[in-house]
Amino acid sequence: MLRKLWRLSPWDGQGWGVCSDTSLAPLRRAAAAGFRGKVAPPLRLFLACADRSVWAAAAAVGASAFARANGLNAVTATLLFGDCLLSGATPVEAWVWRGVFGGRHPLPARAAGLLLSRLGDAAGHRLLADKAAAAERLARAGVAVPVLRAKVCRGDAPDEASMLTSGAVAGLFVKPRRGCGGRGAFSLVKEDDGWRVNGGPPTGWPRLRSRLLRLAATDDLLVQDRLTARLDLADLADAGRAPVLRLTSARAPGQPPFLHSALLNIPVPGRDSRHFLHGEIHAPINLTDGRIACGVSFARSQERLTALPWNGARLAGREISGFFDAAAMALIAAAVIPPLPLVSWDFIMTDDGPVLLEGNSVGNWILTNLAGRYDLDAGSPGALLAAWAA
């Protein structure tokens, strides 16, 4: 419990400073007030003081650890701590935002979670949080979603025979029904010497079963086809890990959805894709022609990549085949769920066409705005959020 409280600080999403974004500042304050409003009035002052104290300690510890891990000098580490303390951002968020956009992060993850979950139809947020229910809704609307091969219900014991029977040609992909951020998700491929998890060394069924049991203790597990990239994107894949096309749909109150921005997230060989600094190359896409503008690594945020550094695969000017098919699917998906201001839709571009993995209504603000850094989005998402809060 204490570890969770430490990890979630600042609990109200507010840092010690004032957000400089005029659209987001009042929205952040309102979201923080809504969070504090759930606490009995006599405890609110205590909560605020405890929150600020815990956040100061967490920001100091986090900035120091980040500085050591990345070889930052004392002056840079101190500036990073100041960014974290004042904005409420984690060190990696604060570092990446300043490197890409300059200034302090206006809407870090905790603040974004509190704010975005308050805007739009609550039923839409609930639907997207349930990956099984969302996939059923989208499939009925004609959107291609991964084939569900099996489901391990919460508390049930997984059976190897059923996993083998459900196996697809390229393997399986397991994910929690209500998970987020890729936590608890992994690929499975059955070979003669055992099961390979995320392309790693083979492991026996008893060890894999223990892992599945731990995950199924808290949530249903969805066992789906593992999707592979279409042939013309094979040079952007890594050991079976396909690049992910992230399309963000936006919607003004009472209006139909439109496409706001697009990124192709490309896995870096030998790195976990969830590692925000080193795990992926992010390639903003021009909405008008479906072509990549450049590649960006958050580890070297000022550098624009025209090709991948490890194999020379072309990025700049490269057309993403099937982009407009995926864009059409994203807009259908946004239209059939209860209205929400912003949704990030993740696609795998397969030889059979785009397949929608899932939608996220509380996405990462850095990724949501990255295409706009290169003037490739459809407008300010902050102004859109203000319209929903009005």
Stated length of the chain: 390
**Residue/partner pairs of 279-283 with CB below 8 Å, 24 or more apart:** 281/305, 281/308, 281/315, 282/367, 282/370, 283/315
- What is the predicted pLDDT for the residue at 7? 81
pLDDT of residue 108: 96
Contact predicate 384/250, CB 8 Å: yes
Sheet with strand 258-267: strands edge to edge: 300-305, 295-297, 280-284, 258-267, 244-250, 342-350, 353-360
Q: What is the DSSP letter of 223?
A: E
Cα–Cα distance, 141 to 137 (Å, whole number): 7
Distances (CA, A) of 67 to 86, 100, 106: 18, 18, 22
- Spatial contact of 138 and 130, defined as CB atoms under 8 Å apart: no
Contact indicator for 15, 84 with CB cutoff of 8 Å? yes
Kindly tell me the sign of the dihedral angle through the C-alpha atoms of 71, 76, 82, 83: negative
Residue pLDDT, tens place only, 61-114: 999 999 999 999 999 999 999 999 999 999 999 999 999 999 999 999 999 999
Angle at 179 between CA 167 and CA 194, to 5 degrees: 30
Average pLDDT over residues 243-257: 97
381, 371 contact by CB (below 8 A): no
Chain segment 137-185, per-residue pLDDT in tens: 999 999 999 999 888 899 888 887 777 765 555 688 999 999 887 788 9
DSSP string for 1-15: -HHHHHHH-STTS--
DSSP 86: H
> Exposed, middle or buried, 160 (CB in 10 Å: 0-12/13-18/19+)?
middle
**What is the residue-averaged pLDDT of the chain?**
92
Four-residue CA torsion sign, 52, 54, 56, 62: negative
Distance CA 298, CA 92 (A): 10
Which one is predicted more confidently, 266 or 198?
266
Higher pLDDT, 203 or 73: 73
Residue range 270-299, pLDDT digits in tens: 998 889 999 999 999 999 999 999 999 999
* pLDDT tens per residue across span 310-337: 999 999 999 999 999 999 999 999 999 9
**pLDDT beyond 60 at 354:** yes
- Asked if 175 and 184 touch (Cβ cutoff 8 Å), the reply is yes
Q: Six-digit token pair at 81?
A: 């701590």
Q: What pLDDT does residue 34 have?
A: 92
**What separation in angstroms does the CA of 385 have from each of 342, 347, 368, 381?**
8, 24, 13, 6
Single-letter amino acid code for the residue at 366? I
